[in-house]
A and B are shown apart, each in its own frame.
Chain A
Amino acid sequence: MATLGSAQLPAEASLPSAVSAAPVAKPAPRHSALVRVAHWILTIGFFALLLTGIEIVISHPRFYWGETGTVLTKPLFQLPIPSSRKLVPTGYAFVLPDQNGWSRALHFEAAWIAVLTGLLYAIYGLLTGHFRKNLLPSKADISWRALWASFTKRLRLERPSEAEAFSYNGLQRFSYLVVIFVLFPLVIWSGLAMSLGFVSAFPWAVNLLGGRQSARTIHFFVSLALVLFLVVHVGMVWLAGFWKRTAAMITGRTAARKEDA
Chain B
Amino acid sequence: MINLARRRLLITGVAAAAGASGLGVAARLARKHGLIPPDGGGIYGLGETLSYASQRLLTRHAMAREFPRSSISARPFPNEIAPLTEEFKRHQAAHFADWRLRVDGMVAQPTSFSMADLRSCPARSHITELTCEEGWSYIAEWTGVPLSHVLNQVGVHPQAKYVVYTSMEPDTWDSIDMADALHPQTFLCYGLNGDELPVPHGGPVRMRVPRQIGYKNLKFITYLTVTDDLKRFGKGLGSAAAEFGYAWYTGI
Interfacial residues, chain A to chain B (CB-CB below 8 A): 23, 56-57, 59-60, 62, 64, 67-73, 85-88, 100-102, 104-106, 108-112, 195-201, 203, 206-207, 212-213, 216
Say which residue of A67, A200, A207 sits within 8 Å of B211 (CB atoms). Answer: A200
Q: Top 7 A-B pairs ranked by shortest CB distance?
A: A109-B47, A197-B251, A101-B245, A60-B135, A105-B44, A70-B77, A200-B62
* Chain A neighbourhood of B1, CB < 8 A: 23
A75's nearest neighbour on chain B, judged by CB, is: B136
Say which residue of A69, A109, A216 sits within 8 Å of B46 (CB atoms). Answer: A109
CB distance from A52 to the nearest CB of B (A): 11
Count residues of chain B with CB under 8 A from any CB of chain A.
44
Alpha-carbon distance between A60 and B77 when the two chains are bound, in angstroms = 14
Candidate in A64, A70, A195, A196 with the most chain B CB atoms within 10 angstroms: A196
A200's nearest neighbour on chain B, judged by CB, is: B62
The answer to whether residues A72 and B47 also contact, given A104-B247, A200-B64, A200-B211 and a CB cut-off of 8 A, is no
The answer to whether A71 and B77 touch across the interface, beta carbons within 8 angstroms, is yes
Q: Which of B235-251 contact A (CB under 8 A)?
A: 241, 244-247, 250-251
The proximity string for B residues 53-81 relative to A, scoring 1 for CB distances below 8 Å and 0 otherwise, is: 00100110011110100010111010110
The answer to whether B51 and A112 touch across the interface, beta carbons within 8 angstroms, is yes
Alpha-carbon distance between A220 and B131 when the two chains are bound, in angstroms = 17
The answer to whether A70 and B137 touch across the interface, beta carbons within 8 angstroms, is yes
The answer, yes or no, to whether B138 is at the interface (CB within 8 Å) is: yes
Extra contacts, 6 of them, besides A106-B47, A200-B63 (Cβ < 8 A), are A60-B132, A85-B134, A195-B55, A198-B55, A198-B58, A203-B65
* Chain A neighbourhood of B58, CB < 8 A: 197-198, 201
The answer to whether A100 and B246 touch across the interface, beta carbons within 8 angstroms, is yes
* Chain B neighbourhood of A110, CB < 8 A: 47
* Chain A neighbourhood of B246, CB < 8 A: 100-101, 104
The answer to whether B137 and A87 touch across the interface, beta carbons within 8 angstroms, is no
Chain A interface helix/strand/loop/mixed: helix
* Chain B neighbourhood of A62, CB < 8 A: 135-136
Counting residue pairs across A and B whose Cβ atoms lie within 8 Å, the total is 129
* Chain B neighbourhood of A72, CB < 8 A: 74-75, 77
Alpha-carbon distance between A57 and B64 when the two chains are bound, in angstroms = 24
Candidate in A73, A105, A109 with the most chain B CB atoms within 10 angstroms: A105
The answer to whether B59 and A105 touch across the interface, beta carbons within 8 angstroms, is no
The answer to whether residues A68 and B137 also contact, given A23-B1, A200-B63 and a CB cut-off of 8 A, is yes
The answer to whether A86 and B80 touch across the interface, beta carbons within 8 angstroms, is yes
The proximity string for B residues 166-194 relative to A, scoring 1 for CB distances below 8 Å and 0 otherwise, is: 00000000000000000000000000000
The answer to whether A108 and B51 touch across the interface, beta carbons within 8 angstroms, is yes
CB distance from A34 to the nearest CB of B (A): 12
The answer, yes or no, to whether B123 is at the interface (CB within 8 Å) is: no
The answer, yes or no, to whether B48 is at the interface (CB within 8 Å) is: yes
Alpha-carbon distance between A21 and B132 when the two chains are bound, in angstroms = 68
The answer, yes or no, to whether B202 is at the interface (CB within 8 Å) is: no
* Chain B neighbourhood of A73, CB < 8 A: 73-75
